[in-house]
Amino acid sequence: MRTLVMTLILILTACTESDSDDAPDDGAVDAPDTPDAPPATDGPAACTVTDPRTCVGNNICLNSTCAPAFPRPYVFAVTVAAIPTTNAENGQPWDVGNAPDPYAEVSLNRQLILTTGVQTDTFAPAWTDTTTVVIPDDTGSPDLNVLSVIVWDADPGDDDGVLACRWTHLTADLVHPGSVTCTGELGSVTIAIRPVL
Ligand SMILES: [Ca+2]
Ligand SMILES: [Ca+2]
C-alpha cells in the first residue's frame, strides 16, 4: 500500500515536473519577442511635460514624447484675471457702489474664439468656459498665430474696457507651459492653452 502511494506521488511529481519543464519551453519560443519590445531608443525624443526645455524647436511634450506643436487642437480657457479697484481711464470705480462684472473675449488670428460668462461684482474673476480650436502651422508665416484677449466690465450701457493683451506669435515655447499671462498696471489675465491629447 505504501509502495502504491509512493508510486502515485512519483507519478504526480513527474507530471508536475513535466508541466513545469514545458512551461519554460513555451516561454522560450516567445522569448525572442521580449528583447524586441522596447525599441524606444530610435523613436521620438522622450521628454518631461513639466520641463519645456526637454523638447527643442517647434515641439511640445505630449505623453512623454516630443511632437510638433502645430497644427494641433488646443483647449483654450481664460482662467483668472486681476482687476484694479478703479478704472485707469477716469480714476473712478468701475461701478457705483460695487465691483466690476468682468468677462473676457479671446481671439486667435483675429477671429473671436471664446467669450466667457460674466462674473458679478468681483476684482478677481475666475472662469471655466473653454473652447477647442486648432492652432495652425505657422511655418514660414511669422504673422500667424496671434493670440489676443480683452477683459471687459459688463455694464447696462457700453461695457468698460479693463485691459487688452496680445501675443504676436504663439510659439511652442509659449504654449508648452500650459498657459500665458500678461501683467501690468491695468491688471492681469491668464489664458490656459492645453493640447488635446
Ligand atoms: Ca462699469
Ligand atoms: Ca458691478
Report how far ligand 2's centroid is from the alpha carbon of 100 (Å).
4
Ligand nearest the Cα of residue 162 is 1
The residue to which cell 502651422 is assigned: 137
Q: What is the pLDDT of residues 17-30, one digit of tens each?
A: 333 334 334 433 34
33 within domain boundaries: no
37 within domain boundaries: no
Report how far ligand 2's centroid is from the alpha carbon of 87 (Å).
13
Report how far ligand 1's centroid is from the alpha carbon of 95 (Å).
4
39 within domain boundaries: no
Higher model confidence: residue 49 or residue 176? 176
Report how far ligand 1's centroid is from the alpha carbon of 73 (Å).
35
40 within domain boundaries: no
CATH of the domain at 179: 2.60.40.150
pLDDT for 119 equals 98
129 within domain boundaries: yes
Q: Which domain holds residue 184?
A: 72-195
The number of distinct structural domains making up the chain is 1
DSSP 114-163: EEPPPPPS-SS-B----EEEEEPP-TT-TT---EEEEEEE--SSSPEEEE
pTM over 0.85: no
